Amino acid sequence: MSNIFDKYHKRYDMWYDKHRSIYLSEVEAIRRVLPKKGKGLEIGVGTGRFASALGITAGIDPAKNMVTIARQRGVDARLDFGEDLSFKNASFDYAAIIITLCFVKDPLKVLKEARRILKKNGRIIIGIIDKDNFLGKFYQKKKSVFYKEANFFSVKEVEDLLRAAGFSYFSYYQTIFRLPKKIDSIERPRKGFGKGGFVVISARSR
């Protein structure tokens, strides 16, 4: 999967400029649950769009060209795999996995690794396109170069994975309430899930 993102890294990054209102709506939803202090890591940092906007100082990604751009945005990014993170136990206060879980080979292993590198009561923040929602169904039909091989999750499926990885105390925010072509301004995030296409799930390590 990293080969796709390496090959089309510029196309991927330009999407955020073309769909800026969607991007900023997602940033605002994540910000609602993001800790205001502490050391954070973004797993699947990509080109650093979210990490740089949210003040997440560190990130990992298996795509070399993505990591290069993330570094240019000021993120301490390194080549690494979410299934086998090269960090010591209890290294971070929180970890973010934003529109990444659907692309990894072993989601449960990634979440277990996230728990390992988190401090006690550390927070994990997951951003997903809800497969049970209109947006998930839209992207599954669209079959873009990126999403054609994605394995989308429902909120319930992510909850189950998080519990299996040792997380609890869930909270949710949602945004993107219309199809992408109809969004021309930032959409305010709302608590819960079920209506917004982009859902943020926050939990704490047990």
- Identify the pLDDT of residue 104: 95
The domain ranges of the chain are 2-205
Opening angle at CA 196, ends 131 and 115, nearest 5: 65
For residues 147 and 12, what is the distance between their CA atoms, to the nearest angstrom?
Answer: 11
Collapsed DSSP state (helix, strand, coil) of residue 103: helix
| Three-class HEC string of 25-85 | HHHHHHHCCCCCCCCEEEECCCCCHHHHHHCCCEEEECCHHHHHHHHHCCCEEEECCHHHC
Q: What is the pTM of this model?
A: 0.95
Per-residue pLDDT of the chain (206 residues; tens, 9 = 90+): 557 888 888 888 999 999 999 999 999 999 999 999 999 999 999 999 999 999 999 999 999 999 999 999 999 999 999 999 999 999 999 999 999 999 999 999 999 999 999 999 999 999 999 999 999 989 888 767 777 778 999 999 999 999 999 999 999 999 999 999 999 999 999 999 999 999 999 999 98
2-205: CATH topology: Rossmann fold (3.40.50)
